[in-house]
Chain A
Amino acid sequence: MLSVILKRVLQLVPTVFFVSVIIFSLQHLLPGDPALIMAGEDKDPAVIAQIRAQYHLDQPLPLQYLYWIKGVLHGDLGESMRLKAPVLELVATKLPVTLQLACMAMLIALTLGVSFGVLCAVYKGRLLDSIVNVVGLVGISTPNFWLGIMLIFLFSVHLGWLPASGYVSPFEDLGQSLKTTIMPAFVLGNAIAGVLMRHTRGAMLQALASDYVRTARAKGLYEHVVVIKHAMRNALTPVITLGALEFGTLLSGAVLTEQIFTIPGFGKLIVDAVFNRDYAVVQGVVLVTATTYILLNLLADLGYILVNPRLRDE
Chain B
Amino acid sequence: MRLKSSLKWLALAGGFALSLGMASAQTSMRIGLAEDPDVLDPSLARSYVGRIVFASLCDKLFDIDAKLNIVPQLALSSETSADGKEVVIKLRPNVKFHDGEPMDAEAVRFSLDRHLNMAGSFRKPELGSVAEITVVDPLTVKLALKALFSPLIAQLTDRAGMIVSPKAAKELGDKFGQKPVCAGPFKFVERVQQDRIVLEKFADYWNKDKINFDRVVFLPIADSTVRLANLRSGQLDLIERLPATDIKDVKANAKLKLTAVPSLAYSGITMNIANKEAGKTGLGLDPRVRQALNWAIDREAINQVAFNGEFTPGNQWINPSNPYYQKSFPVTGRDVKKAQDLLKAAGVKTPLTIDFMVPNNPEARQVAEIVQSMAAEAGFDMKIRLTEFATSLTQAEQGNYQAYLLNWSGRTDPDGNAYSFHACGQPLNYTGYCNKDVDALLGEARQKGSFDERKAIYEKATKILQEEGGVLYLYHVSILMAHTDRLDGYVQLPDGLIRLTGARLK
Residues of B within 8 A of A31 (CB): 388, 390-391, 394-395
Residues of A within 8 A of B394 (CB): 31-33, 36
Q: Which of B360-398 contact A (CB under 8 A)?
A: 388-391, 393-395, 397
Looking at the complex, which of A2-10, A155-163, A217-225 is the stretch in contact with chain B?
A155-163
Asked if B350 lies at the interface with its beta carbon under 8 angstroms from chain A, I say no
Asked if B41 lies at the interface with its beta carbon under 8 angstroms from chain A, I say yes
Cβ-closest 10 pairs across A and B? A40-B46, A32-B390, A264-B195, A44-B125, A264-B194, A43-B427, A31-B391, A84-B39, A32-B391, A156-B233
Binding site for B on A (CB under 8 A): 30-33, 36-48, 50-51, 54, 82-85, 90, 93-94, 149, 152-153, 156-157, 160, 163-167, 259-262, 264, 268-269, 272, 275-277
Residues of B within 8 A of A163 (CB): 230, 233, 235
Asked if B19 lies at the interface with its beta carbon under 8 angstroms from chain A, I say no
Residues of A within 8 A of B177 (CB): 84
Q: For the A-B complex with A32-B390, A32-B391, A275-B388 known, give 18 more contacts whose Cβ atoms are closer than 8 Å.
A: A32-B393, A40-B122, A44-B427, A46-B124, A47-B124, A54-B120, A82-B39, A149-B225, A149-B229, A156-B229, A156-B230, A157-B229, A165-B226, A165-B229, A262-B194, A262-B223, A264-B194, A275-B390
- A276-B47 Cα distance, complex, nearest whole Å: 11
CB <8 Å contact, B124 and A272:
no
**Residue of A whose beta carbon sits closest to that of B395:** A31
Interface centre among A30, A38, A157 (most CB of B within 10 A): A157
CB <8 Å contact, B226 and A164:
yes
**B interface residues, tally (CB under 8 Å):** 50
Residues of A within 8 A of B10 (CB): none
**Residue of B whose beta carbon sits closest to that of A50:** B120
Q: Smallest Cβ distance from B226 to chain A, in angstroms?
A: 5
Q: Smallest Cβ distance from B244 to chain A, in angstroms?
A: 19
- Sample of 29 A–B contacts (CB below 8 Å): A31-B390, A31-B395, A32-B388, A32-B393, A36-B394, A36-B397, A37-B393, A39-B46, A41-B46, A42-B420, A48-B427, A50-B120, A54-B119, A83-B38, A83-B39, A83-B193, A84-B41, A84-B175, A90-B193, A156-B229, A156-B230, A163-B235, A164-B226, A164-B229, A166-B219, A262-B220, A272-B35, A272-B194, A276-B390
- A167-B35 Cα distance, complex, nearest whole Å: 16
Interface centre among A32, A46, A260, A276 (most CB of B within 10 A): A32
Q: Smallest Cβ distance from A48 to chain B, in angstroms?
A: 8
A160-B233, A264-B195, A276-B390 are known contacts. Are A51 and B120 too (CB-CB below 8 A)? Answer: yes
Asked if B36 lies at the interface with its beta carbon under 8 angstroms from chain A, I say yes
Residues of B within 8 A of A42 (CB): 122, 125-126, 420, 427-428
CB <8 Å contact, B390 and A37:
yes
The contact of A50 among B119, B174, B223, by CB within 8 Å, is B119
Q: Smallest Cβ distance from B297 to chain A, in angstroms?
A: 25
**Residue of A whose beta carbon sits closest to that of B177:** A84
CB <8 Å contact, B389 and A275:
yes
Residues of B within 8 A of A82 (CB): 38-39
Q: Smallest Cβ distance from B431 to chain A, in angstroms?
A: 14
CB <8 Å contact, A157 and B232:
yes
Asked if B44 lies at the interface with its beta carbon under 8 angstroms from chain A, I say yes
CB <8 Å contact, A259 and B223:
yes
